[in-house]
Amino acid sequence: MSQRKIIHIDCDCFYAAIEMRDDPRLAGKPLAVGGSADRRGVIATCNYEARAFGVRSAMSSHHALKLCPDLTIVKPRMDAYKEASREIHNIFREYTELIEPLSLDEAYLDVSDSPKFSGSATRIADDIRRRVSQRLHITVSAGVAPNKFLAKIASDWRKPNGLFVITPAQVQDFVACLPVTKLHGVGKVTADKLGRLGIVDCKDLREWDRLALVREFGSFGERLYGLARGIDERVVHNDSRRQSVSVENTYDSDLPDLASCLEKLPELLESLGGRMARIDDSYRPGKPFVKVKFHDFTQTTLEQAGAGRDLESYRQLLSQAFARGAKPVRLLGIGVRLHDLRGAHVQLELFTPE
């Protein structure tokens, strides 16, 4: 099998970049795109000046203003962002048809068979960055690597407005020094467990054989074994469609009762709102659902057609799901099923009008 050439393109603070481009008065000031603080709004994205104060996407607008009192929050203009995304994808298609969008501002490209620049993925990525800058007056960062896992890490390596390349010959040395927190699928709980086992980077992880990792982490241990060696066989799907959007959290200490579970809902709902804001208009949100995993690893999922996606609706769903086990909880998740509207003429409103 020939070596794959994967590019991961990630726009730099995309929504905020479009706002600064269209209104130069906003440039150089802390800026966020999101909902109003007095209406329990959520930050969709922010520029780097705001990030310096600790402002992040999926954070409540109220909390963001506490961190940065001079923060300007503007309402999202989804039509402008979608139009910019379409222009960027038109540029992509001049190099390859193997494009896997992850959101409006992020995508994988497989340029393994592209004839452009004599097949040089590095030169293709650099040219894409140049053309996006010239045509749209915003910047994108790019990562080039032999697989999706490494390409995504590479695109973040020199943000903003950066290009980072990991050649096949560099993979093993690069991955050996990589903190396990950078591995796809390793969240806080898994990272903490790895740390307790003395595993800080991939060099440490390579000292564990496949069977030992499976014993400790179940089926994810198999994935860890491969990632520690820079292995990722996932292909770039140019027809990948979402079934749902969700967030979940595994807690260090079990949540003892329903009341303690309900306390965690607002934070989960904020995170879900941030993820929903990045879904394009070829989807319509459908049934809300909750997932509960109890301390004994039994779990249940409950969804309800026609229910709202507000805090009270999720409270009711969670209460019903908890009643199925009525025992301490180690993981909570909430989400929304999605209807695929590709080809249909339906407009998806991602933000509630204010």
Q: Specify the pTM.
A: 0.70
User: What pLDDT sits at residue 298?
Assistant: 84
Q: From the annotation, which residues make up the binding site for Mg(2+)?
A: 10, 105
User: What pLDDT sits at residue 343?
Assistant: 47
User: What pLDDT sits at residue 17?
Assistant: 97
Average pLDDT along the chain: 90
User: What pLDDT sits at residue 352?
Assistant: 41
Our answer to whether residue 106 is catalytic in this structure is yes
Domains of the chain, start order: 6-13+79-168 (3.30.70.270), 15-77 (3.40.1170.60), 172-227 (1.10.150.20), 244-340 (3.30.1490.100)
CA 77 to CA 57: how far, in whole Å?
Answer: 16
User: What pLDDT sits at residue 241?
Assistant: 64
Angle at 73 between CA 69 and CA 74, to 5 degrees: 160
Residue ranges, the chain, pLDDT below 70:
1-2, 239-241, 342-354
Sequence length of the chain is: 354
User: What pLDDT sits at residue 145?
Assistant: 97
Catalytic residue among 106, 222, 233, 349: 106
Q: From the annotation, which residues make up the binding site?
A: 10, 105
- 32 bridge partner residues: 46, 73
User: What pLDDT sits at residue 2?
Assistant: 64
User: What pLDDT sits at residue 348?
Assistant: 40
